[in-house]
Structures are given as structure tokens and as C-alpha cells.
Amino acid sequence: PILYSNWLSREYQPVDREVLRDYVRARLKVFYEEELDVPLVLFNEVLDHVLRIDRVFRQVQGHLLLIGMSGAGKTTLTRFVAWLNGLSVFQIKVHNRYRMQDFDDDLRTVLRRAGCKGEKIVFIMDESNVLDSGFLERMNTLLANGEVPGLFEGDEHAALLTACKEGSQREGLLLDTTDELYRWFTHQVMRNLHVVFTMNPSSTGLRDRAATSPALFNRCVLDWFGDWSDHAFFQVGLEFTRRLDLDDPAYAAPDFFPAQVPECPQPPAHRHALVNAFVFVHHSLRAAAARLLRREGRSTAVTPRHYLDFINHYVSLLGEKRSELEEQQLHLNVGLSKIKETVEQVGVLSAQLAEKEQQLGAKNELANLKLKQMVQDQQEAEAKKATSLEIQAQLELKEREVGERRAEVTQELAQVEPAVVDAQKAVQSIKKQQLTEVRSMANPPAMVKMAIESVCVLLGEKSLEWKALRAVMVRDDFIANIVNFDTESLDPALREHMKKKYVDNPDFTFEKVDRASKACGPMVKWLVAQVNYADMLQRVDPLRQQLAQLARDAEETKEKGAHVNGMIGELEASIARYKDEYAVLIADVQAIKTEMSRVGERVERSSALLRSLQLERHRWEEESENFSTQMGTLHGDALLSAAFLAYAGYFNQHERHGLLRAWKAHLRAAGVGFKSDLSLTEYLSTPDERARWEAHALPTDDLAVENAILLKRFQRYPLIIDPSGQAEQFLLAELAERKVAKTSFLDAAFLKQLESALRFGAPLLVQDVENIDPILNPVLNREVRRSGGRVLVRLGDNDVDLSPAFGIYLATRDPSAEFAPDLCSRVTFVNFTVTAASLQAQCLDRVLKAERPDVDEKRSDLVKLQGEFRLRLRQLERLLLNALNQGKGSLLDDDSLIATLERLKHEATEVARKSAETDVVMEEVERVSAEYRAVAAFCSAIYFTLENLHLVNPLYQFSLDTFMAIFARVLDTALREHGPGGAAITGAEARRRIAALVDALFLRTFEHVAPGLLHADRMVFAALLCFA
């Protein structure tokens, strides 16, 4: 069809579909951020509907009636077009206590905004909001006349006219009369208000509404959304999986490909085959719902929201399972590589042990050689030390003798040395003036001349003339030469001459000369001291020569001793070096021994560990080899699981199996790989989770486990059909840690509890939801709005923060309850209707408690124990893998890791042994339980006979609680009549009691039920019991 629009230009003209699609996609991105975060796929029909809605909104009195399946996008597209055109959107916020008066108040608000303020408004009215037929009557009048008579009365009418007058004046109009103002108001409402009705298609509902509300059809443009076309489903599937890696180059479509959509390419790629399977799965649910309607008279709606939920589940599961498989493969490969590496290292270490033994022998031989050399050097050093001691004694003797001789010489010299020093000081004290006086004498006294002459002779002067003597005294170094005179250099002949000529002269004294000249007195004193000192040196010279010889001898002895000590030092250094080398060799030997011991221990421990891990190794190798197979079936397995999560919850066990068979048949025909033995319970849950669920009072049959999976993995909030109350008991136990709250729509505090749960993320269990409160619709639809980092949901008139941890669980005990299509599209049904297997298990538990309490107690304990054993074994296997993966470097180098692996493996072996022991005991318990299984089978048959009586007459409704009460009375009666059971009841006695129980059960059931039946139906009931 040709599409017309003015969005791409100012002119209303034909537009290209793809260009329009790109424009709308760009505007939608802004719409998601500003208004509503609900992703849309722009398939062709969406563009058609968007342009139709836009065309109507551009017309005065443009109203719409949108009819289509819930989830087809009626409200979302309307809000998008309104946002695109700058129109405000108004929707009433209904709840259980919403009445006609509330609707009138909302209607007045809308009309004031559109009529008085000139605001362009889109009033969206969904059929689920029509809680009273008066709502439609008001809207029918509004559409026909642009007003609702009697809506504004009294003060409200006067206030309306005042507001109209102000509004008309803003437009430059002068309206005075009431009629003019009201006509202007009505005209404004017609021009600014657009009413959009959204309805689900119904075989009879449209005819009735057309008769009662004609304006609904003749004043509204009808846009038939219906259900999505196959092409739309296919396009949506392609769009939502566009970013997934669904391509498989090895895929080859079969010759007779079961195409569900004409647009599917031929031959299809793997991606197209999967999306084609999406469409088939959705269509199969329509057929299943039709079968259910024919067989049981009840049905459920299958809407586009189911399909979107299905695809979302598929996308989530595909990513989750792919990452799990890749992580598991990585763990397995790392674990196996560690084991393989360890095997190789054990071989290398074993070879190293032999090499270490050779090294040990060589080191021992070298150490013995070093020891011999060290002993030899030690003996030589001892001999040298003895020689050194003798030399040391001689040296001490010579040094003592030298000391004695030096003392004698020192004593002799000490007698004259003070006089020389004193004379030197006296000479140094001669003043320059005194010396100048002497030099200035032309003819000095005899004593002065003698003094100067004697000094000059001693200093080596030849001329003794006074003039020459004066020249000597004039020299600067005269006094210095006197002070620094070297006495030992004095010639003996000169000394004797000086002594005879001067010193022995009685006039040549210090006193006499000093009186003659203060300068010459000290010189005489110095000269006499020098001559006397020279005499003393001559006398002690032999002693000095002897002392020098003794010193030379001592020095030679010292050098000889030093030489010997040097040799001793070299020998001791050599010995120390040998000791160090020997110590190093001994340390090397010890290190080699320690290393050999350590390596030997590691090899032994590792070999033992590898032998104990042999079973796990083979299993891990098989799992690793199966990786490619698992990846090949990943898409099919994820598709089957996602289809189960999105669609199967409403149906019973039999219908679920039928749907799964049909889906597998289609995948097989389409050539899409999947596991033929796929177990949904194992694929979608872990053993840990199943063990926890069982501990929280969940029955162990497949239906209950599947339902628990649905309650864990839902994307639309669950609505639980729970006739027996088992689901409620399970949920309360499962969610106890999160502080689950239990409420109902009849609870006065329901709204407060809901707000609190939304804000704080607590789970909420709502009972008796046969009639849903419309206030929940925004929550169920997840109509969230983001503002400043907050996620908000509209609850009535308030915006409430939505915690990501929030969860709401709706529950009903009525298995025959019918739910509107819009609710079916918003929730995930979880059908806990009892099955034959689960009922048999319950009845078997009861009869064993009554007849064989010993067996029941043992059976319960063993079942619990076996579950714990299986859980612990799986945990230990995971811990083994994790320990191998977390180990750094070589396994052999990490003693703590080896110890951890040994401990885990030992514990696993012990747990496996205990598990095998319990299996033996469990076989005996099961043998006894099997005797009473017939009673449980009859219980199940009788109950389902009672349940099907409604087919005879709709009034014949019997609950499970009623039947269990009958069974409890039968057991109590048997206990009173036949006495308590126990281990002593065996063989024929046990068979007799079982037969009596069965007879009493049939009789008591007939006696209880028959009075409530028509007389003609009692024989039918009796016959049904006979065939049960």
C-alpha cells in the first residue's frame, strides 16, 4: 500500500516505507528516554497503524477504536503518536474501589483541560478500565455531543463558565451569555480532545457494544489490529535476535523444510530456521488452547506478549548457557591440562631422581677428598705454630734485653739533657737589643770576646778576629744555628779543644760572663752544656752500639716470626677455605638428599593423587569431548527451554509433554539440532536448587520441579493456580529469608504493602486473584519511567520507586477460574494442579505414616540423606575442578593444592561409600513401600474420578482437601479397628490390612459423595469407582 505522511516534509505526500521506518526508529529512541521504555519492532503493520493513528489525530473530533490482541501495541503506539504530535496523554487509574463518581471526576478534569485551557489531549480508555456500564454510557454521550449532560452542576458549572470566559478572552473573544460560553467550551472539547478506545477482539462483545454504545462505532475510526500476522512474528523474531550469533555455516536445510511464514527465505539459513521455529511454537500454543477449550471448557489467550516473552527468554538462555558451557569447558580444559602436565612432570621428576643419585655420589667423593687435604694442612699448621712459639720466646728475650740497655742509656743521657735544653731556652731568650749591644762594641771586654769566640769556634767559624765575629753575629740565623746545633756531630778533637781552651778556664763561667754581657751569658751556658753532653754521648756510645745491635737482632727475629706466622696464616686460610668448601659440599649433599626426599614424596603423592583422580579424569575428558556436541545443540535446547518457560505454565503435565513432542518434531523436520534426551528440569535448574526446593516442602515430581523453575525464571510476574496450597507453602518457605509478605486484594492495607514491596524490593504473595485489581496493571506491564537515575512505576496517582529485587506472586486456589486476555498476556501462568504421580506420593507418605511409621521415618531420613550425599558429591567435584583451576603454576609445586585435592578426593570417596550403603538400605525400604503403593494408586484414581464428575454435572465440584479428609478418616478407622501397624506387620497380615484399607476407602468415598449427587447419578458414580 502507498503510505502518506507529512513527517518527512511539510507536504502530505507519499513516502517510502524504508525511509519512514528509519525516521520512526530515530524518534522512538527519544521516546524511550522521555516517555516509555517499551521497545518496539517496526514491522510493516506497525507503520500502517502509526500513520492511521496520526491521520485521525490531525482531524477535529478524531477518535479511534483500536481492536486487537492484548500486547499487540495498541496503547504504546497511541502514546508514541501522541508524543510525536505534542499531545498530552490521559489514562484513568482504576482500582477495585474505583466507582462512577471517580470516573466523573476524571472526566471533568479531562474536559476542563481540553475545553478551558485549550490543551490537546488523547484520552486512552481500555476495556479493562470499564468497571461499570455507566462508563461507556458517559463516553458514548461525549463522543456524540462533545459534552456529558449533568456532568457540571451547581458550583462546578459556575466555575466552569468562569474558566471558559477567561479562556475565550485569551483568544480575543467576548462571550457573555451562558449558552455562548458553553457552546465555546463544547467546541473546544471537540477540537482538542481525542478519545482512543482499546479492546480485545471478541465474538459477541463487539455486537453488544455496538448496540448499547452506537457512538463508539459511528464516531470512531476503527483500526483493526487483530493479532500479528505471520510476517510480523517473523520480522519481530529477526529483529530481537539480530545481535545474536545464530549463524551456522554447517547448517543445511532439509528438502522439505516446514516453513511457517511465506517470507522465510528458501533455502533458509540457520537463523531463519530458528525464527521460523519461533513462529511455529507460537502457533502451536493456539492449537493447544483450542484443544483445551474443547476438552475442558476453559482456555487461555495466546498474545503477542507471549511471543515477546518467549524471545526474551531465548536470548537470555542462549547467553547464559553459552557462557556456562564455555566456562565449564575452560574449567575442564584447565583441569585436564593440569593433570596432563602433572603426569609429564612426574615422569621428569622420576628421571631427575636418578640423576640426583649420581650427583650425590660425586659430591660425597669430592667431600672426602677435601677432608683429607684439610687434615694434612691442619697438621702442618700445628708444626708451624710450635716454631712460631719458639721464635716468639726468643723475640721476647731480646726485646727485654733491648729495653734494659735502652733504660741505661736513657738514664745516662737524662743527666745532661736538661742542661742542654735549659741552655737552648736561655739562648732563645737573648734579646735582639742585647745582641746589638755586643755587635756595636768596637773593642769588647775579654770575657765577651771569649764567649763569642768560643761559640763561633763550636759553630765551625775559622776566623777569630772581632770583625769576623761581628759579621757572624749579624747573620739572621745566628741564634737559630745555636739552638739547632747537632751535638752528636761534634768532633771529639774539637770537643777536647773546646774543653781545654774554654770550659776548663775558671773565668769561663756563666756568672762572670753574664755580668759582662747579658747576651753572652746564655751562650756560655749553652756551650758548656753542649760540651758536657758531647762527653756523655761519648761515654754511652758503646751502650748505644750494643743497643742498636740488639734492636737489629730483635727485628730479624720479628721478621722470621712474621714469616712463620704468614705461613701459618696461609695454612689456616687454606684450612678455612677447605672447611668452607667441605661445608658447601656437605650442604650440597644434604640439599640433594633433601631434594631427593622431597621430590620422591611429591612423586609418590602425585602418583597416588593421579590414580585417585583417574575416574574424574575420564569423566572430564568425555565431557570435554562432548563440548562441540553441546554447542551444536545449544540453539535447539535453548529454544525448547524458552518455549517451555513462556508458554507451558498454564497446561498440565500431559499437555506439556504433548507440546514438547510437537516442538521437537518441528525442530527435527527443520534440521535444527537439539538433545533428544533433553531434561528441562536438569537444563533449567541445578541440583543444589532442586535440593533446596525439596527442603522447602516442594513435591519431588516433575510437574512441581518444572513449576519451581517457572517461579524462578519468570520474566512476566507469575500467576499461580494452586488448588492444593502446595505452591503457597513452598513459596513462603523459599522466600522466607527475603521476608515475603502475604496479602490479598481484600486486605485494606494492600496498597501500602504493595508500595513498600516496590520500594524495598521485598517479594509479595497476593492470594485469591480471581478478580484482579486494575491498579496492578502498570506493575504487571512493567510500565517504568526513568528520571534522574530513578526507576519509577505509576501506582494510582503516585510515582513509586521500583527496586530491581521486587517480585510479586499472584495465586488462586480455583482451578476453573477464567482470566481476561489482557491479564493472560501480562502474567506467566504456573499450574500447580495436582497430578497422579504427586498425589500418589502424598498418599503413600500418609499410609506409611499410619501403617509402617518405622519404614516411613527411615525412608524420609534416607531420602534426605541421599539428597545430601548427591549434593555433596557434586559440590566436591566442583571444588576439585575449581582447586585445579585456581592453582598457580605447577600442581607439584603447590603443596597446599595437593593437600586440598587429597582432602577433597578422600571426602568424595567417603561420601560415595556412605551413599552406596544408603542405597542398599533404601532398596529394602522401597521393597516395603511398594507393598503399600497399591493403596496410593487407588487414592489417585478415586480423586481424579471425583474431579471429573463435573463433566456429569457442573455442580459436582470436589477439592483435593475433601478427598484427603476422607482418606484421613479411613486411616484413623483402620488404626482403631486393626490396631497400630509396625515392623511386626509382614506377609499375609500386611496384605490383609492393605485389602481392608482399599475396601474402606472405596466405601467411605461413596458414602461421603453419594448424598450430594442426583439419584440417577449415584449409579454412574458407583460404576466409575468400579472402573477406577
The whole-number pLDDT of residue 859 equals 67
- Distance CA(870)–CA(515), nearest Å, equals 134
- Distance CA(423)–CA(196), nearest Å, equals 143
User: Which residue, among 723, 963, 731, has the nearest Cα to 833 in the 3D structure?
Assistant: 723
Is the predicted pLDDT of residue 590 greater than 90, yes or no?
no
User: Which residue, among 235, 247, 237, has the nearest Cα to 281 in the 3D structure?
Assistant: 237
The whole-number pLDDT of residue 598 equals 73
Our measurement of the distance from residue 722's CA atom to the centroid of its chain's CA atoms, rounded to an integer in Å, reads 36
Q: Which residues touch 119 (CB under 8 Å, ≥6 apart)? A: 88, 113, 192
Q: What is the mean pLDDT of the chain?
A: 81
**Strands of 73-130, DSSP E:** 88-91, 121-126
10 Å Cβ neighbour count for 529? 22
The three cell numbers of residue 267 are 533455502
Length of the chain: 1028
Torsion, Cα of 217, 219, 220, 221 (10° steps)? 100
User: Which residue, among 650, 704, 706, has the nearest Cα to 679 in the 3D structure?
Assistant: 706
Our measurement of the distance from residue 99's CA atom to the centroid of its chain's CA atoms, rounded to an integer in Å, reads 50
Handedness of CA 969, 974, 977, 979 (dihedral sign): negative
Q: Is residue 11 packed enough to be buried (19+ CB in 10 Å), middle (13-18) or exposed (0-12)?
A: exposed
Q: Which residue has the cell 448499547?
A: 212
Enumerate the β-bridge partners of residue 91: 124
Report, in angstroms and rounded to the nearest whole number, the Rg of the chain calculated over CA atoms: 60
Q: Is residue 1012 packed enough to be buried (19+ CB in 10 Å), middle (13-18) or exposed (0-12)?
A: middle
Phi, psi of 811, deg, nearest 5: -140, 145
pLDDT digits (tens, 9 = 90+) for 444-475: 777 877 877 877 877 777 767 777 777 777 77
pLDDT digits (tens, 9 = 90+) for 52-91: 999 999 888 889 998 888 878 888 899 999 998 889 999 8
pLDDT digits (tens, 9 = 90+) for 767-810: 988 888 888 888 888 888 777 778 888 887 788 999 989 999 99
Strands 741-744 and 64-68: unpaired
User: Which residue, among 53, 139, 59, 48, has the nearest Cα to 92 in the 3D structure?
Assistant: 139
- pLDDT confidence band for 489 (50 / 70 / 90): confident
Sheet architecture: strand order including 790-795 = 784-787, 790-795, 798-801
Q: Long-range contacts for 29-35 (Cβ within 8 Å, ≥24 apart)?
A: 31/80, 31/83, 31/84, 33/786, 34/83, 35/79, 35/80, 35/83, 35/785
pLDDT digits (tens, 9 = 90+) for 92-114: 888 778 888 988 999 999 999 99
- pLDDT confidence band for 895 (50 / 70 / 90): low
The three cell numbers of residue 66 are 483500536
- Distance CA(106)–CA(108), nearest Å, equals 5
Q: Long-range contacts for 610-613 (Cβ within 8 Å, ≥24 apart)?
A: 610/339, 610/342, 610/343, 610/346, 612/902, 612/905, 612/909, 613/339, 613/880, 613/901, 613/905
Least confident of 86-90, 405-409, 960-964: 405-409
- pLDDT confidence band for 171 (50 / 70 / 90): confident
- pLDDT confidence band for 591 (50 / 70 / 90): confident
Enumerate the β-bridge partners of residue 81: none
Strand, coil or helix: 786: strand
The three cell numbers of residue 271 are 537463523
The whole-number pLDDT of residue 133 equals 80
- pLDDT confidence band for 881 (50 / 70 / 90): low
The three cell numbers of residue 646 are 513462556
pLDDT digits (tens, 9 = 90+) for 554-583: 777 777 767 767 777 777 777 777 777 777
- Distance CA(706)–CA(695), nearest Å, equals 16
Q: Which residue has the cell 765575629?
A: 469
Mean pLDDT of 624-650: 87
Is the predicted pLDDT of residue 423 greater than 80, yes or no?
no
